[in-house]
Amino acid sequence: AIPVRSSRLPLLSDAMPAPAHLFPLIRNCEISRIGSTACYCHHKHLCCLSSHFAHSHFRYAPQKKFAAVYRPKENFNHFIHTRDHGSAPQRFYLTPPQVNSILKANEYSFKVPEFDGKNVSSVLGFDSNQLPANAPIEDRRSAATCLQTRGMLLGVFDGHAGCACAQAVSERLFYYIAVSLLPHETLLEIENAVESGRALLPILQWHKHPNDYFSKEASKLYFNSLRTYWQELIDLNSGETTDVREALINAFKRLDNDISLEAQVGDPNSFLNYLVLRVAFSGATACVAHVDGVDLHIANTGDSRAMLGVQEEDGSWSAVNLSYDHNAQNEHEVERLKMEHPKSEEKTLVKQDRLLGLLMPFRAFGDVKFKWSIELQKRVVETGPDQLNDNEYTKFIPPNYHTPPYLTAEPEVIHHRLRPQDKFLVLATDGLWETMHRQDVARIVGEYLTGVHHQQPIAVGGYKVTLGQMHGLLTERRARISSVFEDQNAATHLIRHAVGNNEFGTVDHERLSKMLSLPEELARMYRDDITIIVVQFNSHVIGACQNEEL
């Protein structure tokens, strides 16, 4: 049995400065005693009843006595009904306006400005939104226009073991990508401006929701690391045009290296010293899109996904994957791991579909516990602040840890040339893909954007449905179509379906209201944080570009 002690403090949280003494993170589940049964969870399940661990990504197999609580997500309705213990059926927890208020709290929309009444960009604009399950939310999102080069950057970031790493990556990665894309002359101009104390050329124009904050305390540290990077790019100048694929890979790897180095070196400022350690010991996956004219590049590290929405000649919608999950379900990833480590470790590299039996994604930023040598981990912990040295999580060494690094932040980059039939791109953390198939995502977003609904026969999935129930389903579908434009944001509309869809594929208000009114300690049991960006493409511009190439 795993003893559980409650803790209200979030794991490696960004929401507060370092406490006087670090919370007993992993002591809650006695990780040192159970060894390889501990699961360094990327997400998807819980490890214990502690509200602290309801929002962390450390995970253990639930105990039998908790079986009634640890029900699969699809059994949500059964759980809701069994909670009543025979009492009268519960009414809706939230009214439709209250549901809308929750769903729309974090939505953001951006429309690419027109010049002389025309939009000359291949991007019309984008909608984004987030729905938390963890408290605080561990997902992040970013969007920016490159000002010194062409193109737009958009990305979603899924944190685990807290939100520190996802926050840092969401702030910093786009700068590393933008710098990687800059020509040598512009890099020199920026460096000369810093040397002489002149104002810098703006590199990015950010498109951020008010809740998407930047860490002011770490801005100088982050700038110094970025400057060192562009100085090295200046010294290594080859005179060749920068390849986007190479720039994306270099930016991902360099940022991860800087995160690691900053944690090793430390900082005389105690707050910053603790911050860089929290960033390094937590982790984050990233899925980033760079759109420049008809050239779309997707750089993915981890298990968030990019999906292209394509409109077929008959008006129907299809989905095209533009990323691959880096986890145990990807045979190529498993083979890559085996190639990088001795044959003697084949049986221990991936256990229970997790890296070393602990971590679900096989690529991620941070997570230095899967990258540093044991000696380095011990040195940093022993010489670090007391909060770190007293923390059993940071002192824990993964089992069968012989030939690190076992984890990389190097992205897999896919290039796609946009066509007029490519109408939109969806970037989303796996909180969406756990609940919806990509084909349903393509149809829902496509119909939302065009206002044209292709009715399919109602599928009942083997359920026995009476004539009255079928009438109710048809009436509900008609009402859903007439009210589709209540959502002014495509990402919000998608989240509404992801959380509220019933077994027949329609939004059930009762289910939606119950899911959104679950208390903090239960919400994470039935869904993950969901972060979505929907990018709408300009078919006219894309078609014109295609014709010019012919």
Q: What is the pLDDT of residue 14?
A: 37
Q: What is the pLDDT of residue 53?
A: 31
Residue-by-residue pLDDT tens, the chain, 550 positions: 333 333 333 333 333 333 333 323 322 332 222 223 233 333 333 232 233 333 333 332 232 222 322 334 444 444 444 444 444 444 547 888 999 999 999 999 999 987 756 668 999 999 999 999 988 999 999 999 999 988 999 999 999 999 999 999 999 999 999 999 999 999 999 999 999 999 988 999 999 998 888 888 999 999 999 999 999 999 988 777 789 999 999 999 999 999 999 999 988 888 999 999 999 999 999 999 999 999 999 999 999 999 999 999 999 999 999 999 999 999 999 999 999 999 999 999 999 999 999 999 999 999 999 999 999 999 998 888 777 666 666 778 999 999 999 999 999 999 999 999 999 999 999 999 999 999 999 999 999 999 865 555 555 555 666 777 766 766 666 655 544 448 999 999 999 999 999 887 789 889 999 999 988 788 888 889 999 999 999 999 999 988 877 6
**Measured between alpha carbons, how far is 392 from 394 in angstroms, rounded to an integer?**
6
Q: Do 153 and 174 form a contact (C-beta atoms < 8 A)?
A: yes
Domain 96-456+466-549, CATH among 3.60.40.10, 3.40.50.300, 3.30.1950.10, 3.90.1150.10 = 3.60.40.10
**Measured between alpha carbons, how far is 429 from 425 in angstroms, rounded to an integer?**
13
Q: What is the pLDDT of residue 279?
A: 96
Cα pseudo-dihedral 93, 96, 100, 102, rounded to 10: -10
CA 103 vs CA 54, 436, 438: distances in Å:
22, 17, 21
Cα pseudo-dihedral 172, 177, 180, 185, rounded to 10: -80
SS3 readout for 319-382:
EEECCCCCCCCCHHHHHHHHHHCCHHHHHHHEECCEECCCECCCECEECHHHCCCHHHHHHHHH
**Amino acid, single-letter form, for residue 183:** P
Q: What is the pLDDT of residue 10?
A: 33
